Amino acid sequence: MNDRLTLFLPCASGVQEFLADEVHGLTGLTGQDLLTLRGGVRVHAGWRELMLLNLHSRLAQRVLIELAHGPCASEDDLYRLAHTVPWENWFAARQTFKVDLTAQRSPLKSLNFATLRVKDAVADAFRTRAGGARPSVDTHEPDVRVQAHLTQAEATLYIDSSGASLFKRGWRQQQGDAPLKETLAAAMLAASGWWLPAERRVQGVPLYDPCCGSGTIVIEAAQLLLGLPAGGLRSFAFQHLKPFDPALWNAIKREATHPAIGKDAKNQPPRIFGSDVAHRMVDFAQRNAERAGVAHAVQLRGGDALQRLPPTDTPGMLLLNPPYGERIDVAGSVRQSRERFVSESSSADERAGDLFFERLAAHWKQHFAGWTAWLLTPDLKLPARLRLKESRRVPMWNGPIECRLFRFDLTARGTAASPTSAT
């Protein structure tokens, strides 16, 4: 149980530095025990950290346990490598499993065949070393997921300790057409500096998402403010692995419900605000906030972002992913439509989008002077549409879609928020 494990925590491209900060903040690990790689973080730690990271990480997609790594030039090499792993120490023959395989520049011809060889090696290892019984495969709801990753000359084999991807926090039942992934909302909070993952704390400034949809950003922020664990409402695959220690897990969960951070936030008036022009979305967000245990810490309202005034007297931070895939009426209301105003749009839709952002910038300059606005969008022309010059642009990926998180420092109309030409 105290054995040292090698863990790999994949994350969205560009998020790895924030994830390394988060892992350091949660576990105290540093140096060779915490390596930042492309698309993830590698950690040397024990079962305690494995459980902590599953329960608390907001940026990792999952926590994988590395079980073998070696040269791999053929399917036979892969089979041999997989056969060396003592799978029987990790799960029982009565449990089902599934193999997933990813590859980058691997010379192996058929990835399906490679997957099959790993599957055979796992089953054969059970038969030869664990007295005959072999686990069966379940591709839909396996008890155990094995992951193989192939590169040009090497293979790495993992067992997944998370199960469902960690962006699934367990509170979402109501979603809009385009909810933001929770992991991406957390990355926005870290990149904007509102959340300081290495220090396990949040900044005190008010946070406002005026296009909050199903509430992902405000709920992530409120859970951070209150010190609630990201995965407090869900279960994890490690609970079904053989080395799992329920007593240690219960202790970790007990500690998580007595968080060091957030203790002062419980009785404060809300500092986190969300609104949306679609009342249906506000209703979704409210119900999601209730399930996430943060309804008392957020204030959610209906209303047009072109009209809503700042929710506090003191300036704070606007953080949002504005409408992109919907049609926007210049009055500000969104026609419920699946048409895309950028990719499939008519020029009229694009003009409506331009007008919306032009008016949004004018509204912010008039009423939100002193605030900082951070907007995540795949639309690289957004600063031009807003006629504002960004003070920062952070590359981020929304799945396969390349986005930017733009920062604008809002000043009063007629003063420094300088106009920009198209970027």
Alpha helices, H only, 237-338 = 246-256, 279-291
Burial class (CB in 10 A: 0-12, 13-18, 19+), 100: middle
| Binding track over 168-187 against ligand SAM, x by CB under 6 A | --------x-xxx-------
Nearest C-alpha neighbor of 64 from the set 41, 36, 80 = 41
| Cβ(71)–Cβ(111) below 8 Å | no
Among 65, 118, 328, 417, contact with ligand SAM (rule: CB under 6 A): 328
276 or 390: CB nearest ligand SAM:
276
Q: Which residue from 334, 375, 386, 394 is in contact with ligand SAM, where contact means CB under 6 A?
A: 334
Q: Are 119 and 137 in contact (CB under 8 A)?
A: yes
What does the alpha-carbon distance between residue 418 and residue 423 come to, in Å, rounded to a whole number? 14
Distance CA(195)–CA(411), nearest Å, equals: 23
Rounded Cα distance between 404 and 374, Å, is 10
Distance from first CA to last CA of the chain, Å, rounded? 54
CB of 300 to ligand SAM, least distance (A): 12
Binding mask 211-250 for ligand SAM (x = CB under 6 A): xxxx-xx---------------------------------
Q: Is 348 in the site for ligand SAM (CB under 6 A)?
A: no
Q: Which of 305, 373, 403, 410 binds ligand SAM (CB under 6 A)?
A: 305
- Rounded to the nearest whole angstrom, what is the least distance from the CB of residue 161 to ligand SAM in the complex? 27
Residue of 281, 298, 373, 382 interacting with ligand SAM (CB under 6 A)? 281
Q: Is position 304 an interface residue for ligand SAM (rule: CB under 6 A)?
A: yes
* Distance (Å, whole) CA 322 – CA 377: 7
Closest distance between ligand SAM and the C-beta of residue 228, in Å? 18
Closest to ligand SAM by CB, 200 vs 404, is 404
Q: How far is the CB of 301 from ligand SAM (least distance, A)?
A: 10
Measured from the CB of residue 405, what is the shortest distance to ligand SAM in angstroms?
A: 13
Number of Cβ atoms within 10 Å of the Cβ of 60 = 31
Residues 108-167 that bind ligand SAM (CB under 6 A): none
Helices 216-226 and 182-191: angle between axes, nearest 10 degrees = 70
Under the binding rule (CB under 6 A), the answer on residue 323 touching ligand SAM is: yes
Query: Interface residues with ligand SAM (CB under 6 A)?
Result: 176, 178-180, 210-214, 216-217, 276-278, 281, 304-306, 321, 323, 328, 332, 334
